[in-house]
Chains A and B, each alone.
Chain A
């Protein structure tokens, strides 16, 4: 289990240090700083083993979070915890920065005491935590006995993520499908690897203890329904159903029901939470195609031409498009011409960055650049790193569609129709690269 948790600033100074087990000494703090933060080579592995002690770290902007253990723990669990911890901190005081951490020093220790017990992760549901870890100082005298016992029963009860007696005048539900599409493509346009990792994030403002049911165009469900009866419905929607490779759910989802009927039903927490995560690898809609053309003219010159094509419905608009064309390390000068957007040679990043604000579907645009090179002493050939791309599109590249989201609340008198529901799809680029 986790032996201790440290938070460092960018200089490697310790901001938070919480040790849960005796096998972690003070020197572990320094070991991580010396071997990871101040390491000569950049440490790329998120898990580092120093003197039989394992360090798991994540970095948020300039802040390092490191979990330390001497035992053989489940690394995935530790990282899940670290991410959760980041979420909790963000929910409490916004952006994770050195200043925020310093200002919420006491709060963080209080949280750490709560969400980790002797190194074992505990309830880290923000909603639940907020009921008894507050930022307004000691509230004890205002809290009645009843309230306290209610918190206890809720936190320790079966549905730890939702308290009873929530009431909203307007019952509202926000559902976001957030996807990031990852791609590696050969210069000839062959897909070498591609996958989409998506999240369904919900924000629920519902009264009482509602029971929800979420439906999407999961291939297995659609096929099963197809067999059940309505054959032409299956034929119609068959094309649009998607094959989900793997998925994980928020703890509120009844897994037994998912296993038996593959239906996603749950009592939602109050406020914002991530309902599920999934990954698909088949039939991905690639929103952009990058066609590179690199020509070396002698030893001192390089000509680059890159064409991008948008590959979605013309009615949709992609945003925040950025193409990053790496340049050789001995670049001594760059001339760029582009038809659309703005392009600039960024010496500090060794790349030409081409930015386009908006671009509709089924369009194409191109950039051409002349790169002057300085002859160098060593004959090392330029490795030609891939051209990478960033964008945001208003649809789900995996093809996922939300079919329904039903809300049942038997005790209170509102029905599914009374709930206002909002659905939004956002597709972003993950690592979207094309070799050149």
Chain B
């Protein structure tokens, strides 16, 4: 009997303390944000101990406290599953959140509602923790919906701006469509496995799992912005940069991937769903990488980069490697959050300028941000022995040597090289060259909050991959032997992408601006997907429903079918076939004469 479960529960429950304190109204003072940041750092350190115990001994725990209700044969209780996935994800998430909280102490310093902002971020973190430690689908759904709601509140933080409100609503709508899949999976499990507990589902191992896994795939498409339900993620950049760093790069959007990883015992038996996830992930990663090539807003480029990496995670699940996908989740959190924080630092220093065409020459003006941006981009593209290498290179190697769909593999490789291309684009436009911003600058990165938070994530981006990979226990054996060209594939396409992008940027730097080509327009307008899908289906369905409700029922069935059609028909035919001229007296007279003549003929005929 050790302190494993107690420490983990303590770490999770100290997170709720600042929320409780808001009931006592002690949260109105100005040191509340510092309290929140400190509490998250304490929770992180506390959660490291159970994680180290887990790494040392492989101990997994399920904590089932409180029996909530029993509905006929379904037992709902509060239960936490502390296994491989939650034990490693919780410290990583807490570490990244700690750095982001410290960063937002600097970024949101002048915001009058900074305490509310921190409360929202903390509530988001609590619901995310509920999601990853859930042992039954009901608790997972509570966390799922919780992160959706907090995402809505945080994206629309500056609610005076119309675009922010639209983006928040868009996030909710797209997530809702994904939730339909989740509820379908829950209903299927309720009917066929009589439970929402993960243990019972995996033990029963149902045979025909196509329907629930399709539902879970739809839920992951909605929450993790896969192709088809992806436009909310770039629109969500309307929120403040800490929100983008926490929600839309590290934690919330990986909830969909996490759900699929949780269900890997069911997925490894279903080849159809695996192929479906593989193709979906491949389409997503290539499409969003293409869209990222011509964007001009630095946050949108990083958002599309997130979307592309999420597609890569889904591809990894599709080749039946859930543990590699999870490793990529953890490593991706570090450098993506850091990239967002560097972009936040640049934006704030250039007085809220987000367009990369108006940045430049920051290499000498902001050396620390430059360093972390370049290291983050290198980690993202999978430079050997930085963090991203340990997950991304393994994924590409496994995909190359596995019996998989060649088209999906090709898409993934092209997307990997495009990752290098748009990373070069960010570095080239934002950092190199001569300054393109206004001369009266407010560039200042000397704040200790900013520097400490980015420094922590910087060290994480360099060493975390090595650290985590060395300490986890071996799960699925990676492919050990392969031809040398396969081993070097990821590196080759990345270097190819870098050189190509650098050459093109340098050559075309001073050329005259031409009219955009069709490919450029396709990439810049996000493949026309939002333009078409946000206008055409609503117009079609609304006009169809209006026509069927008012025109069909009222106008046609009640008015036109019998009364008006009969009168029109009579009028038309009478005009058509009448040759009369209205000489009534003549007609009557001829009738009389005919009658008289016939009478005479009949009577006087022998």
Query: Do these two chains interact?
Result: no
Residues of chain A touching chain B, judged by Cβ–Cβ distance below 8 Å, are none
Chain B contact residues, CB within 8 Å of chain A: none
